[in-house]
Amino acid sequence: MKRALLTSILFFAILLVSAQQPQRNPESESRTYKVMSFNIRMSGFSQSDGINAWSNRKEAVINMIHDVDADFFGVQEMLPDQKQYLRKHLKEYGMVGVGRDDGKNEGECMAIFYKKKDFKLIKGRTFWLSETPEAVSKGWDAACKRTLTYTCLQDKRNNQNIYYFNTHLDHMGKIARRESVKLICRIIDSICPQKELVPVILSGDMNSTIEDDIFRPFEKNGMAASRNKAKKSSSLDTYNAYDKDGTFVTNKGAHVIDHFFNSACVEVAEFQTNVKDYGVPYISDHYPIILTFSIKKK
């Protein structure tokens, strides 16, 4: 009888202590995220690329993506055959993005991949960097059609929404690069009017170094250069050109043209240029860049 009474008292004591413990609230949990941007180098140059042809590096690209294990990532220059290959070997990721030449499948695709088990796609869309962003078009003095793809991803674990934008500015048109930045600011404002309160990440091959004044509208618009805000950062070259002329291998930062930008509530922990060896001379003529971040509590 005494044993039963003691057992009951102990049981209720445990219940009382448990009730006094703070309850876990998934929505308030702070998480760390990893996002990657990678110019994959289109497969259309396979003949001139020789040893660096897509057919020789595609397996290494998949190995790199699995090694990085990003929560979501953006790619530039992805052609239809490359999209088919990535989707076949990255079944854990969903994808948003269209071909820039027809708004469907033709031409390069500035795609966003996200982990399906961790994120719900709330919305996503592609815009053209031109005077008519809603339609397939080429803008200003650009040599090519250029696009901006975005997603709103909801973390299934804490219901946090994250807005991620991925782009590729023109490699020739100086006016196009400048006007594209202004346009991207307007698009971000239209989608995230309170971006100071929500996490917004922009990445891509910008074809300009971070010191270029074309990026000033981002700063004025509350989008900081993530490389400069990171607690741990990298200034290595992001463009290597397969080291064809022998000047890129030193990685001293003269060709840093791939960037991340982030809104104010994004806490940047690390900016990394991934120069790891994946068994081939180069996985692309660009190195992937990786951002590790958390979200400041409101």
Does residue 270 have a pLDDT over 90? yes
The pLDDT assigned to 15 comes to: 42
d(CA 200, CA 226): 11
The pLDDT assigned to 146 comes to: 98
**Token pair listed for 263:** 């809104």
Side chain identity, residue 32: T
Does residue 28 have a pLDDT over 60? no
The pLDDT assigned to 2 comes to: 47
User: pLDDT tens for residues 186-225?
Assistant: 999 999 988 888 999 999 999 999 999 999 999 999 999 9
The pLDDT assigned to 22 comes to: 41
Mean pLDDT across 139-143: 98
User: pLDDT tens for residues 156-184?
Assistant: 999 999 999 999 999 999 999 999 999 99
The pLDDT assigned to 18 comes to: 43
Whether 198 contacts 164, CB under 8 Å: no
| pTM of the predicted structure, to 2 decimals | 0.89
Residue 37, beta-bridge partner list:
74, 289
d(CA 147, CA 135): 10
**Token pair listed for 207:** 């074809």
Please identify which residue in the block is written with the tokens 């992937």: 288
DSSP SS3 for 121:
strand
User: pLDDT tens for residues 192-202?
Assistant: 988 888 999 99
d(CA 98, CA 121): 16
d(CA 282, CA 241): 9
